[in-house]
Structure 1
Amino acid sequence: MGNTVDDTIAADGPLTVAITRRAAPEDELLMQAWVHAGTSMAERFDGFLGAGWVRSGAEDWHMLYRFASRAHLDTWERSPERIRWLRAAADLVEHRRTEYRTGIEGWFDEPTSRSVQEPGAAVPTAPPRWKQASVIWLAFFPTSLALTYLLMPFSGGWPPVLRVLVTTLVATPWMTYVLLPFVTRLFRRWLSG
């Protein structure tokens, strides 16, 4: 029932799985409960680094799971818990696509593996590095500025290393799971133009 990662993906290093599923608009509450149950289950597995989801339109749900390595991801994908969780939604969701991505460039370039290819769909190419850097900066600058002002009352006497540590611990998940996907969607035409 689960998709395994293509052998071309490096066996070491973090791996993000982006899954697109479709559910009827009237099943929104059921879908939210199902997604939450899957995330709660995945976070109990070794190597789990995070998860999130966003919606596009009334029917499409995009879920992200990140694991520390291919082995950790395989353990989750092949687990009896995940198989039962997927079966529980057989009448609720339609699986549309699964993509496996590595690194920060995964927000921009084509997936290294795709389990479902839409008929006639062109494989997207990665935008130039300067455009990727520009979009990352557009997300990084306001995050860094906001955290500087928010932490200033508490961290004024802290050593710089501790301030930077706390800032990056807060900024990294925010950037990875919320802001970069949003900014990438916002500038999609410019990135691909």
Structure 2
Amino acid sequence: MAHADPITVAIERQIDPTRTIEATSWMQAGVDLAAGFDGFLGSGWVRAGVESELWYMLYRFTDISTLEAWEESPQRNWWLDSGRAFAKEVRTERRTGIEGWFDAPLGLALADPATGPIQQIIPPAPPRWKQAISIWLGFFPMNLLFSWLFGFIPGFETFPLPLRVLISTLVLTPIMAYWVLPWVTRMLRPWLQR
């Protein structure tokens, strides 16, 4: 079975400020519903501030199929319908692929049913230039090693350039995605989050 990276969804909602008690219960109900689905890794919500109408909800699933099972479920549709009178979705963002490698570990804010939301700032993905440097630091040595090793294969240099690039990308992409980039981002995490 192929390994799949977790997917984090961030949703920004505008909440009617006269209905914050209902909204608080409604947000917690959404967390509780999602928790009953296979592949659920965690969820949480925070308010932008005491007076703010903007509330943020995050949830994470193990892969796209478990995420879609939640997002297309009758339970979620019922829950969304029940909040339409006071909650308006402003923006949704999914973090997968490259940006997902740069997520902070345990970077989700959790809502405790007894005390309400934990006011934790969720660190954004590092700037693109830091992401680009991190990817390059993994890609350059891997590409160099690949080129050196495949230089020992007799006649490899006579293959047409598109075929050589196809072979190198087929070999290097899974190595980068599953081993090199997770390791590089772990090693560089303090710099990436600074």
Give the aligned residue type for 2:90. Answer: R
How big is the alpha-carbon RMSD for the aligned residues of Structure 1 and Structure 2?
A: 3.0
Q: Tell which structure's C-alpha radius of gyration is larger.
A: 2
Specify every segment of 5 or more residues in structure 2 that has no aligned partner in the other structure, as ranges.
104-122, 135-191
Tell me if 1:66 matches 2:60.
yes
Deviations, residues 28-67 of structure 1 (Å, cap 9, x unaligned): 1111100000110000000000001111131101000000
CA distance in 1, matches of 2:9, 2:131: 23
CA distance in 2, matches of 1:108, 1:61: 16
Give the aligned residue type for 2:79. Answer: W
Given the alignment, which residue of 13, 27, 38 partners 1:35? Answer: 27
Give the aligned residue type for 2:23. Answer: M
Tell me if 1:56 matches 2:48.
yes
Give the aligned residue type for 1:27. Answer: R
Contact 1:108 1:127 in 2 (8 A): no
CA distance in 1, matches of 2:28, 2:79: 11
Specify every segment of 5 or more residues in structure 1 that has no aligned partner in the other structure, as ranges.
1-10, 111-124, 133-183
Q: Which segments of structure 1 move beyond 4 Å, counting only runs of 4 or more?
A: 129-132
- State the 1:131 CA deviation: 11
- State the 1:26 CA deviation: 1.9
- State the 1:109 CA deviation: 3.7
Alignment of 1:147-162 (within 5 A): none
Deviations, residues 69-107 of structure 1 (Å, cap 9, x unaligned): 100000000000000100111111111000000325145
- State the 1:130 CA deviation: 11
In the alignment, what sits opposite 2:36? 44
Kindly tell me: are residues 126 and 89 of structure 1, through their superposed partners in 2, closer, same or farther at Cα, counting changes over 3 Å? Answer: same
Tell me if 1:22 matches 2:14.
yes
Aligned residues with identical type, % of pairs: 39
Tell me if 1:97 matches 2:94.
no
CA distance in 1, matches of 2:44, 2:130: 27
Tell me the secondary structure at the aligned position of residue 102 of structure 2. helix
Tell me the secondary structure at the aligned position of residue 61 of structure 1. strand
Kindly tell me: are residues 131 and 40 of structure 1, through their superposed partners in 2, closer, same or farther at Cα, counting changes over 3 Å? Answer: farther
CA distance in 2, matches of 1:30, 1:127: 42
CA distance in 2, matches of 1:40, 1:96: 22
Given the alignment, which residue of 62, 81, 94 partners 2:75? Answer: 81
